[in-house]
Amino acid sequence: MLRVAVIGSGPSGVYTAQSLIEQQTVPDIEVYVLDRLPCPYGLVRYGVAPDHEKIKSLQNNLRTVLEHPRAHFLGNVEVGAPGLGIAELRKIFDAVVFCVGAATDRRLGIPGEDLPGSHPATEFVAWYSAHPDAAALRFTFAARSALVIGVGNVAVDVARMLSRGAAELAATDMPQGPLGALADSHVEDVWMIGRRGPSQAKFTTKELRELGSLPDTDVRVRPEELALDPAYRDPGELPAAARRNVEVLRGWAERPATGPENPDAGAGAPPARPRRRIHLRFFLRPVEILGDDGGVRAVRFERTAPDGAGGVSGTGEFEEIEGQLVLRSVGYRGTPQPGLPFDEATGTVPHLAGRVLQDGAPLPGVYVAGWIKRGPTGVIGTNRPCAKETASSLLADAPALAARGTDGGPLAAGAAHRTAEDPVAALIRAGQRPVPWPGWLAIEAAEAEWGHGLGRGTVKLPDWAGLLNAARSAEPSD
């Protein structure tokens, strides 16, 4: 029997487990999906915005995999903690696949980045998604103007969440604290700012278009800024995704402006001005976050111009955009994993088709999939082929894995293979207190009950104590 540990229960981890379970070459395989959190699904639970219910429903597909008889979810297991390094894991499992994603955010590296009121967008996302590590964070929305730096899908998510009204948010599974804070928000202007042109924005068209359908919110773009991009003027050569983005932006640029905030303006007047505005700006590179005693007050940008090679160069002209809240949405970044090689430049683990490479040679029995393998790019579905490739490498190595010693080398005559001990018992002995699948089901039940009591649907429990208490309620009493 081949016993595999998959570290991380987000899409890449679950798709890896699925590829391992559904293949026919190694039928007697058991896959243990370990997660640091007591809850499964990674960024599908803690990254996909709460108002994106359709994407969130992917959890149902992931659930089917984790409920397979050959899959075993074990939450609240911290790989890398004392007593649970790679060496110890390899004594419990024949192979270990790291699917740990990209746990931190990229830095801008400009003055003022850490002023009060300037946050990584990833923190804001974790907070409104009820990530238990974000339970101590406090966001307030006294700001009238909020700046989102970056034009990827996370930037679109946070701009949209800042623009949604209380009634729409109450229908989601957002925890009570963030719901109340966002419902009381004073934000009227949300700026989403790209350093390059509209044809190079990273957001996808479906997500971009959604900004135009938000109630009581106007999307504004500046035709003269869009026109600076040669590919915007002549989008014929653009890849389809970028061309569609350009078409949406063109539609917004060509719309008549909305009028003043006066619903009684009379017949023939422009439509009343919506309560909120999302301003999409391009060719502005952040150079400094400016503050005063109360925290952030503005961001200073240098205007840029296309350099003809897909990049931009500075023009020496500057512009300040006022804002009291700054969300830096410039991408995620992988973090070094104890005992694994790490490429600082890319924030990924070096690998060949998913086999971890140490000094150019495969580290026996250790694999990667997902963002820690290829970097934080692509949509959820991108993880499927990525996971499949890694699973294929692992399965090709299966005969060698089953015949190796705990040091990774060939099994010496009479030497012990990995332990025959049950992995849960071995993990407990290693100092962990795993939350198995019934514990997660108890969390789900507690969240449904909590929401019901609040007169809402399911509402997520936002802290470690609440999650672990709920999970423990499923444990048999002594």
Could you give the CA distance from residue 377 to residue 476 in angstroms, rounded to a whole number?
42
SS3 280: strand
Could you give the CA distance from residue 367 to residue 68 in angstroms, rounded to a whole number?
22
Q: Least distance (Å) from ligand NAP to the CB of residue 476?
A: 40
Nearer Cβ to ligand NAP (196/276): 196
- Over the window 377 to 396, marking each residue x when it contacts ligand NAP by CB under 6 A and - when it does not, the resulting string is xxx-----------------
Answer yes or no whether residue 291 interacts with ligand NAP by CB under 6 A.
Answer: no
Applying CB under 6 A, among 13, 38, 132, 150 the residue interacting with ligand NAP is 150
The C-alpha angle 176, 13, 427, rounded to 5 degrees, equals: 85
Nearer Cβ to ligand NAP (11/286): 286
Residue 16's identity, in one-letter code, is: T
Which residues are CB-contacts of 79 (< 8 A; sequence separation ≥ 6)? 7, 34, 36, 89
Which residues are CB-contacts of 447 (< 8 A; sequence separation ≥ 6)? 173, 458, 459, 460, 461, 470
Nearer Cβ to ligand NAP (106/250): 106
Q: Least distance (Å) from ligand NAP to the CB of residue 201?
A: 6
Q: Least distance (Å) from ligand NAP to the CB of residue 297?
A: 19
Number of residues in contact with ligand NAP under rule CB under 6 A: 26
Could you give the CA distance from residue 329 to residue 348 in angstroms, rounded to a whole number?
19
Nearer Cβ to ligand NAP (48/349): 48
Segment interacting with ligand NAP, rule: CB under 6 A, options 61-69, 77-85, 246-254, 371-379: 371-379
Segment interacting with ligand NAP, rule: CB under 6 A, options 262-270, 325-333, 398-406, 417-425: 325-333
- Is the Cβ–Cβ distance between 324 and 316 less than 8 Å? no
Q: Least distance (Å) from ligand NAP to the CB of residue 94?
A: 32
Instruction: DSSP letter for 431, please.
Output: T
Answer yes or no whether residue 157 interacts with ligand NAP by CB under 6 A.
Answer: yes
Could you give the CA distance from residue 13 to residue 21 in angstroms, rounded to a whole number?
12
Nearer Cβ to ligand NAP (108/134): 108
SS3 96: strand
Q: Least distance (Å) from ligand NAP to the CB of residue 34?
A: 23
Answer yes or no whether residue 330 interacts with ligand NAP by CB under 6 A.
Answer: yes
- Over the window 332 to 361, marking each residue x when it contacts ligand NAP by CB under 6 A and - when it does not, the resulting string is x-----------------------------
Segment interacting with ligand NAP, rule: CB under 6 A, options 64-72, 135-143, 275-283, 324-332: 324-332
Answer yes or no whether residue 155 interacts with ligand NAP by CB under 6 A.
Answer: yes
Could you give the CA distance from residue 426 to residue 415 in angstroms, rounded to a whole number?
19
- Over the window 430 to 459, marking each residue x when it contacts ligand NAP by CB under 6 A and - when it does not, the resulting string is ------------------------------
Q: Least distance (Å) from ligand NAP to the CB of residue 174?
A: 16
Q: Least distance (Å) from ligand NAP to the CB of residue 312?
A: 8
Q: Least distance (Å) from ligand NAP to the CB of residue 56?
A: 11
Which residues are CB-contacts of 222 (< 8 A; sequence separation ≥ 6)? 253, 281
CA distances from 339 to 50, 211, 356, 425, 459 (A): 35, 43, 11, 23, 37
- Give, as ranges, the residues between 80 and 139 that touch ligand NAP (CB under 6 A): 106, 108
Residue in the shown chain whose Cβ atom is closest to ligand NAP: 152
The region that residue 71 occupies, defined by phi over 0 for left and psi between -120 and 50 for alpha, beta otherwise, is beta
- Is the Cβ–Cβ distance between 401 and 2 less than 8 Å? yes
Q: Least distance (Å) from ligand NAP to the CB of residue 194?
A: 5
Answer yes or no whether residue 289 interacts with ligand NAP by CB under 6 A.
Answer: no
Segment interacting with ligand NAP, rule: CB under 6 A, options 139-147, 153-161, 210-218, 221-229: 153-161
Nearer Cβ to ligand NAP (89/330): 330
Which residues are CB-contacts of 88 (< 8 A; sequence separation ≥ 6)? 430
- Give, as ranges, the residues between 24 and 63 that touch ligand NAP (CB under 6 A): none
Closest to 376 measured CA to CA, from 397, 357, 348 = 348
- Give, as ranges, the residues between 178 and 237 that touch ligand NAP (CB under 6 A): 194-196, 200, 202, 204, 207
Could you give the CA distance from residue 36 to residue 19 in angstroms, rounded to a whole number?
22
SS3 338: coil
- Is the Cβ–Cβ distance between 276 and 188 less than 8 Å? yes
The region that residue 40 occupies, defined by phi over 0 for left and psi between -120 and 50 for alpha, beta otherwise, is beta
Q: Least distance (Å) from ligand NAP to the CB of residue 323?
A: 15
Torsion of CA 401, 406, 408, 410, to 10 degrees: -70
- Is the Cβ–Cβ distance between 185 and 162 less than 8 Å? yes
Nearer Cβ to ligand NAP (152/439): 152
Answer yes or no whether residue 159 interacts with ligand NAP by CB under 6 A.
Answer: no
Could you give the CA distance from residue 168 to residue 188 in angstroms, rounded to a whole number?
17
Task: Please state whether beta strands 312-322 and 295-306 pair in parallel, antiparallel, or not at all (unpaired).
Answer: antiparallel
Q: Which residues bind ligand NAP (CB under 6 A)?
A: 106, 108, 149-155, 157, 194-196, 200, 202, 204, 207, 286, 329-332, 376-379
